[in-house]
Structure 1
Amino acid sequence: MSEVEAADKVWGRDEVRRAVRLAARKRIAEKGLSFSMRELAADAGVNLGLIHKHVGNKDDVVRAVLARSHEKSAAIVEGVDSVPEAVRALFMVGVADPEYVRIVAWLNLHGRSDLIPNEDMDAFEAITRTSHVSVDDRVRQMAVLAAISGWSLFGSGILQSSEIPDGEREFYEARIADLLATIVNGGAPTRGA
């Protein structure tokens, strides 16, 4: 390795953690867990030994990526007062951070949902585990959660195939969020609709 290459490497604990988190987030969103720690080290511009020292193994890297994403999404979902508001907020989290949803999808596809922090499921549990709900209510809740995840994964392609201009994306996504809130509310309009 040349002196220039060595000088470009990241060395400090916080810098290593940040570089690894950013590189891993991109790689996991694109390809799931199908990467080696050496590939990740190269992507992050970090010495492999420093990843193990400051972050840990591959599972620890995934947890670090999800922990940072959780902080951002928790702030969005925090403080909602009703299930329809929670649905609207969750939809907007997926719109704002589709990489996160792709990461969670990959982890589920790899059979590694154990890496998803329990806190990330709190908002979903708030929707699906409310007391005194009928089977129909629960089915609506599950369908809405599937739609939220599906839009995060396929929304761009759906908009493109529907020939919706980029400038109108926000309008359509707001309307979809309102529709999902109405569905989970049993068909009754919600205040955002």
Structure 2
Amino acid sequence: MHGSEPTPKAWGRDEVRRAVLRAARSGFAAKGTSVTIREIACAAGVNLGLVHKHLGNKEDILRAVLERDTEISTRTIETGASVPDAVRRLFDIGLADPEYVRISAWLLLEGRTDLLLGNQAEGMNAVRGVDPDSRKADVRLMTVLAAISGWSLFSEGILAFADADADAASRGRVEAQMSELLAAIVELPGFAPESSPGPRGS
């Protein structure tokens, strides 16, 4: 049945990059760095040779995924009117798309913090950039970021443990309350002095 054979796609550089980065993001979120380039190419529907040609090796692909996520998050944060608003936006990003947090968790477990530090610093600086005085609230910001990451990873288990209603409306109400609580945390006084404390015991 000659006529039923699929017509090969004409892949351009930009099409290859988009398809591969989408597939790679899902693959890294699911399997960490154990995902292979062959698996990524197969999921993207792209010839393996084109992946190497347009994106390089697996680490190059992972860096490109992280950089793209950071750019999107930074743009979202920078449009916020205040630090609490930036926190709400970050929480919404985590709810809508937890794959970045999962990739970060894999890299931490695999000891590849070198791949994360620059991206996470950019995110923190984007929040600080909304308000020049926000550096005073770094402890609060770190607490909020930890809560957002934890919720992205463990929300299903937390809801079950808390015996919360599993329907979408109930979950939406809980998450709306959490968003407001996290936004309020960054405005609490007295948790982060302007000068950092010295080493413990000093």
TM range (shorter): 0.7 to 0.9
1:30 Cα offset (Å): 0.8
Q: Distance in 2 between matches of 1:39 and 1:119?
A: 25
Normalised by the size of structure 1, how large is the TM-score?
0.78
- Structure 1 residues not aligned, in runs of 5+: 189-193
Q: Distance in 1 between matches of 2:138 and 2:62?
A: 31
| Pair 1:174–1:20, CA change in 2 (3 A) | same
**Of residues 165, 168, 176 in structure 1, which corresponds to 2:167?**
165
- TM-align CA RMSD: 2.9
| Pair 1:187–1:67, CA change in 2 (3 A) | same
Q: Distance in 2 between matches of 1:42 and 1:163?
A: 39
Q: Give the number of the structure whose alpha-carbon radius of gyration is greater.
A: 2
1:155 Cα offset (Å): 1.7
Range that drifts further, 150-159 or 117-126:
117-126
Identity of aligned residues (%): 52
Contact 1:73 1:93 in 2 (8 A): yes
Range that drifts further, 42-51 or 72-81:
72-81
Q: Distance in 2 between matches of 1:182 and 1:131?
A: 13
Q: Distance in 2 between matches of 1:49 and 1:19?
A: 14
Q: Distance in 2 between matches of 1:160 and 1:81?
A: 35
Contact 1:16 1:46 in 2 (8 A): yes
Question: Which residue in the other structure is 2:178 paired with?
Answer: 176
Letter of the 2:80 partner, please give it.
V
1:170 Cα offset (Å): 2.4
Question: Which residue in the other structure is 2:94 paired with?
Answer: 94
- Structure 2 residues not aligned, in runs of 5+: 191-202
Question: Which residue in the other structure is 1:140 paired with?
Answer: 140
Q: Distance in 2 between matches of 1:141 and 1:115?
A: 21
Question: Which residue in the other structure is 2:42 paired with?
Answer: 42
Q: Distance in 2 between matches of 1:111 and 1:94?
A: 23
Normalised by the size of structure 2, how large is the TM-score?
0.75
Cα-to-partner distance string for 1:49-90 (whole Å, 9 max, x where unaligned): 111101111111112222332343223211334332222221
Alignment of 1:41-190 (within 5 A): 41-116=41-116, 118=118, 120-125=120-125, 126-127=127-128, 133=136, 137-161=137-161, 162-186=164-188
Q: Distance in 2 between matches of 1:13 and 1:4?
A: 24
1:32 Cα offset (Å): 0.7
| Pair 1:22–1:123, CA change in 2 (3 A) | closer
Letter of the 2:50 partner, please give it.
L
> How many residues of Structure 1 are paired with residues of Structure 2 in the alignment?
182
Contact 1:86 1:123 in 2 (8 A): no
